[in-house]
């Protein structure tokens, strides 16, 4: 039979596991696409600026 300490340990484990799972889901669905979109946007801006600078010389 479970002791109360084992039950608390199991609940703590489930809580940490659940927090980690939702944090991973949040990172994969919001942070990573935001980061990728920002990097691609900056890369295109730099290329466009280089073209304009080369054309104006």
Report whether pLDDT(57) > 80: no
Using one digit for the tens of pLDDT, what is the confidence trace for 17-48? 999 999 999 999 999 999 999 999 999 999 99
Residue-level pLDDT at 16: 97
Quote the CA–CA distance of 54 and 50 in Å, as a whole number. Answer: 6
Quick one: DSSP state of residue 40? H
Residue-level pLDDT at 44: 97
Report whether pLDDT(2) > 70: no
Per-residue confidence at 1, pLDDT binned at 50, 70, 90? low
Record the pTM: 0.61
Quote the CA–CA distance of 20 and 42 in Å, as a whole number. Answer: 31
């Amino acid at each position: 039979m479970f002791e109360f300490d084992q039950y608390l340990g199991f609940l703590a484990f489930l809580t940490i596991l659940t927090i980690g799972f939702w944090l991973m889901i949040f990172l994969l669905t919001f942070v990573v696409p935001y980061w990728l979109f920002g990097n691609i946007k900056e890369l295109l801006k730099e290329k466009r600026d280089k073209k304009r600078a080369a054309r104006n010389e």
